[in-house]
Copies of this chain bind each other. A is one copy, B any other.
Amino acid sequence: MYSQLLQYSNALMREIKPFFAMEILARAKELERSGKDIIHLEIGEPDFPAPPLVTQAAMEFLGKGMVGYTPAAGIPELREALAAYYEDRYGVRVSPARIFVTPGASGAFLLTLAMTVMPGRKVLLSDPGYPCYANLVRLFGGADALVPVGVDTNFHLTPELVLKHGDRQTEGSIVASPSNPTGTVMTPQILERLVGLLESRGGFLISDEIYHGLEYSGQSPTALEFSSDVFVVNSFSKYFGMTGWRVGWAIVPEQFTEQAERLAQNLFISAPTPGQYAALAALSPDCREELERRRRLFGERRDFLMEGLRRLGFGLPAHPEGAFYIYADCSAFTRDSSDLALRILEDVGVAITPGKDFGAHFPEKFVRFSYTTSIPRLSAAVVRLRDFLAGGKLGN
């Protein structure tokens, strides 16, 4: 049954790799069920719940009884509140008509990539980077072009790299700052020049700004400050602490709003309604005060964990100024970061993500730590790592 289809499907799946983080997570849960204490530093999910006002708003909405579809682009109040948020936070005017509320950033990527990816054309992506970009580009028939980035460009694409790796088949690029997995932040100048370069060539730029708000040395600009012809993806998952609600948004150029509307109807009908009302509360000034307090806590954790890893001998070529990730060079300890991650989990119960989830550019040298847990737990993790590294179990 399905021999030809399975052949095709398997070929596609060879290109869409599983997230190793999920295997780590599954094994971690197994160990937990057997009674072992695991410190989770593998997951890209804040440990803070949404602010209480957010939950209250959702419960109030649910109390009214009816939970129907919303317009495909989202409830008008939320689109307007997001427009006000851009004006307030970035000083940028965005018409609510360009803002599409989506089921998480995932939905925003489906929406923007369905519009922009032409069959067979290339989309430039940084390596390391968030693995879903390449997978979705391929699902829509495009080709991902991974551009190796390193310490010289702060682990980001630059106009020079785009010129070097782009060709006539290149049609656009996705950039993310702060970056997953490196936490590095692109300078405003580089972002502005990238926007200008792609614009001058008629290419598209999708700016993934999902970690905006989680920045520890100044605030990143939105790509919209440099042009209204870019696509922006963002979400309530990370800074607003609302992962499971599945609410994100895409901002599209004026000329793409009608396409976005039609695609939203077909791709997801509408984003989850309870989450949309919850998100509306998340944008209120009271909530944002709470979120700022959390941002400072994340900053303290970052400082603590960086110092701990440095003392243990991890290399820290990427200086993480945002998100909640440290991408650490573990080549002093191993030639295979995946093997290292598994052994650290088995031996001392610390779960981390190996580099191979994020690309093909020296992934075996790197592991990603998420500081989405408390300083006491991070401290315990550092102690366990020290024990592990002192245990002489390396190099086998």
Interface, chain A (partner B; CB < 8 A): 1-6, 8-10, 12-13, 16-19, 22, 45, 49-50, 52, 55, 58-59, 62-63, 65-70, 72, 103-104, 106-107, 110, 114-116, 118-119, 132, 135-136, 139-141, 171-172, 199, 202, 204, 229, 242-246, 253, 255-256, 258-259, 261-263, 265-275
In the complex, are the beta carbons of A268 and B253 less than 8 A apart?
no
Q: Which residues of B contact A10 (CB under 8 A)?
A: 259
The 8 Å CB contact of A67, one of B13, B141, B243, is B243
Q: What are the 6 A-B residue pairs with the smallest beta carbon separation, nearest first? A: A244-B273, A67-B244, A272-B272, A246-B272, A49-B65, A135-B266
In the complex, are the beta carbons of B55 and A69 less than 8 A apart?
no
Tell me the complex Cα distance, A204–B66, Å: 37
In the complex, are the beta carbons of A5 and B202 less than 8 A apart?
yes
Q: Whole-angstrom distance from the CB of A73 to the nearest CB of chain B?
A: 11
User: For residue A6, which residue of chain B has the nearest CB?
Assistant: B255
Given A1-B202, A275-B272, A139 and B266 contact (CB-CB distance below 8 Å): yes
User: For residue A141, which residue of chain B has the nearest CB?
Assistant: B141
Q: Which residues of B contact A104 (CB under 8 A)?
A: 268-269
In the complex, are the beta carbons of B50 and A243 less than 8 A apart?
no
Tell me the complex Cα distance, A10–B262, Å: 12
Q: Whole-angstrom distance from the CB of A233 to the nearest CB of chain B?
A: 14
Q: Which residues of B contact A275 (CB under 8 A)?
A: 272, 274
Tell me the complex Cα distance, A2–B229, Å: 9
Q: Which residues of B contact A55 (CB under 8 A)?
A: 62-63, 65, 67
**Which among A3, A139, A141 has the highest number of chain B CB atoms within 10 Å?**
A139
In the complex, are the beta carbons of A116 and B13 less than 8 A apart?
no
Tell me the complex Cα distance, A116–B9, Å: 7
User: Known contacts A5-B171, A104-B269; can you find 9 more A-B pairs with CB under 8 A?
Assistant: A1-B253, A8-B118, A9-B256, A22-B265, A45-B69, A67-B244, A136-B267, A139-B140, A272-B275
In the complex, are the beta carbons of A255 and B58 less than 8 A apart?
no
In the complex, are the beta carbons of B242 and A67 less than 8 A apart?
yes
Tell me the complex Cα distance, A59–B65, Å: 11
Tell me the complex Cα distance, A311–B6, Å: 53
In the complex, are the beta carbons of B246 and A246 less than 8 A apart?
yes
The 8 Å CB contact of A68, one of B58, B69, B110, B243, is B243
Tell me the complex Cα distance, A128–B273, Å: 30
Tell me the complex Cα distance, A68–B245, Å: 8
User: For residue A229, which residue of chain B has the nearest CB?
Assistant: B1
Q: Which residues of B contact A18 (CB under 8 A)?
A: 258, 261-262, 265
In the complex, are the beta carbons of A199 and B1 less than 8 A apart?
yes
Given A13-B262, A116-B5, A140-B139, A62 and B58 contact (CB-CB distance below 8 Å): yes
Given A69-B45, A140-B139, A266-B16, A246 and B271 contact (CB-CB distance below 8 Å): yes
Given A5-B118, A5-B171, A68 and B50 contact (CB-CB distance below 8 Å): no
In the complex, are the beta carbons of B69 and A49 less than 8 A apart?
no
Q: Which residues of B contact A62 (CB under 8 A)?
A: 55, 58-59, 62
